[in-house]
Structure 1
């Protein structure tokens, strides 16, 4: 059990909520709250925070936690009778007592397996039985890896359909100094214009106003370059064809009680997602979706590689 205490620590977080701290030898760390199955912190070997968490985040159920990586399931957006972005992000998850083997994280020693299943409360609003298994892992190199497995456990023979996103809030020095590479020339749905479809025209994405777009048929790798910090986030994904890009900008920031008025300048959401074509599972079927993020010096990425030509490393 000695190694367990080095890499994985179960403890209490804000307002007494249960959380798990993952640590790697070189100083990388991540924190996961059982409330929401939500990553709220990811730090590099210099203890720098890589994810954005609002200073006004409310760690009080049933309010979702503003920042980190909320899980959007069984829907992304606000379309059905369900609450916006579904219920997974404001339910209490459990540590999975019987996790499946996870070959993609074979080298990771710092990881936790969580599980969320239907409850009587959920069945009233979404009448389907399911098992959602989530593994959050920190690689020896400090990469943050999330693997979701969602299984239809209905006993009535019914299929169910869902949409999904890892609603990742990246911490950036200044939104006006950030660019996103890998989404050029792609079609997107603009949530600010009733999900009308457009084609991205720019060389790379830069930001000077509110943005809320769902990019379609995206590559397995997207790069988020923070020029001021000379840091690039690499987002790699599998099973998630879409990518959501969101920043509320000044007016919407001021309208959110759990978000600081000026905090939009220091965050950008780039999310591995499946939104345009929902996933349908028959009873017994399982879907798997993965996201890995790493932080590297910008010189490694900018101008040296084409994000569209980099294969997902499994």
Structure 2
């Protein structure tokens, strides 16, 4: 089953195992000892650790790890919609499905070194999915961990039906932070955003950096491809680089909403922040045979 790692590569490792519910998952390790855990349930990254074993993603202590519930934390994939509309479940069905190993993955790039560990997963619609969203597609996902500890996710969605379809998409990334009131986000200055707390009314960001003192649920539009999340207390900065993903979702449920969520601790909003690379405002439309690629690269660095 380790055929998804580079052939003969002993340095970067991919280990496949089952969780307590019998669902396959992979642990990717690079040469320095950093790791990423990916579940076939939702193609979801559940953990991303530094070479010192420090967890960089938030997962709720009350998260439910049993399908068909999506796991509260890590990086759920929202497809074919973000939000709650029509017959589709909130944030679409991709995060609740069991994916499979992709036997026809992307070729490696010439600059990919043997120090990279990666896994390729595939999602195709079931008959049940086609009843609520009648479009045939192939969704290929590569999750990779580089020698420098960076986590990259590349999604390729191909239309294999005979008519066009449109979708929205997000990598719903839960970052682990020391204290939400000590965090700031840069790279969103002067952008317009849709505020989900005000019926998606459109506003313009006035601040130099985004800081948090109450519930936030916004979709920033047409952002640059680099966003930074500064955690002052932990003296570390997350860098979010993205391609094919024009929008950025920023979400923290704060106190009142946290208490209404069964799979989220009442005080856990203090230790997390979602900042998503996304394509929401202008849905992606694919003609038959067309393919879309959305790429997210996450890195972490010490900050002063």
Could you tell me whether the CA contact under 8 Å between 1:179 and 1:206 is conserved in 2? yes
TM-score (normalizing by structure 2): 0.95
Q: Which residue of 2 aligns with 1:161?
A: 166
Checking the alignment, whether the CA contact within 8 Å between 2:79 and 2:92 is kept in structure 1 is yes
Q: Which residue of 2 aligns with 1:248?
A: 253
**Mapping of residues 216-295 of structure 1, within 5 Å:** 216-295=221-300
User: Unmatched 5+ residue regions in structure 2?
Assistant: 1-6
Does the Cα contact within 8 Å between 2:12 and 2:116 map onto a contact in 1?
no
Corresponding residue to 1:126 among 114, 133, 148? 133
For the pair 1:187 / 2:189, whether they are aligned, the reply is no
Equivalent of 2:100, from 94, 99, 124? 94
* CA apart distance, 1:79: 1.7
Q: 1:144 pairs with 146, 151, 169, which one?
A: 151
User: What secondary structure does 1:15 align onto?
Assistant: coil
Return the offset for 1:109. 2.6
**Structure 1 match to 2:52:** 46
Residue 59 (str. 1) matches residue 65 (str. 2): yes
Task: Verify: 1:171 aligned to 2:171, yes or no.
Answer: no
Q: Is the 8 A contact 1:105 1:137 kept in 2?
A: no
Task: Output the TM-score relative to the length of structure 1.
Answer: 0.92
- The alpha-carbon distance between structure 1 residues 228 and 105, as it changes in their structure 2 partners (threshold 3 A), is farther
**2:11·2:30 contact (CA, 8 Å) conserved in 1?**
no
Q: Structure 1 stretches of 5 or more lacking a match? A: 300-314
Offset at 1:5? 8.7
Measured against aligned partners, the alpha-carbon deviations of 1:96-136 in whole angstroms (never above 9, x if no partner) come to 01102242872353000000011111111100100000000
1:69 aligns with 2:58: no
Structure having the larger proportion of residues in helix:
1
**Runs of at least 4 residues off by over 4 Å:** none
For 1:105 and 1:57, the matched residues in 2 are separated by: 37
Looking at structure 1, the residues matched to 102 and 144 of structure 2 have their Cα atoms a distance apart, in angstroms, of 14
Distance 2:291 2:83 in 1: 22
Mapped partners of 1:246, 1:198: distance in 2: 16
Per-residue deviation at 1:17?
2.0
> In terms of mean alpha carbon deviation, does 8-17 or 130-139 score higher?
8-17
Secondary structure of 1:3's aligned partner: coil
Q: Distance in 2 between matches of 1:85 and 1:188?
A: 19
- 2 CA distance for matches of 1:105 and 1:262? 43
Name the residue aligned to 1:306.
Answer: none
Cα distance between partner residues in 1 of 2:47 and 2:223: 26
- Label 1:278 to 1:105 Cα distance change in 2 as closer, same or farther (>3 A): farther
Shift of 1:12: 1.4
Indicate the SS of the match to 2:211.
Answer: coil
Q: Secondary structure, in 3 states, of the residue corresponding to 1:287? A: strand
Distance 1:277 1:48 in 2: 37
- Taking only aligned residues, the RMSD between alpha carbons, in angstroms, comes to 1.3
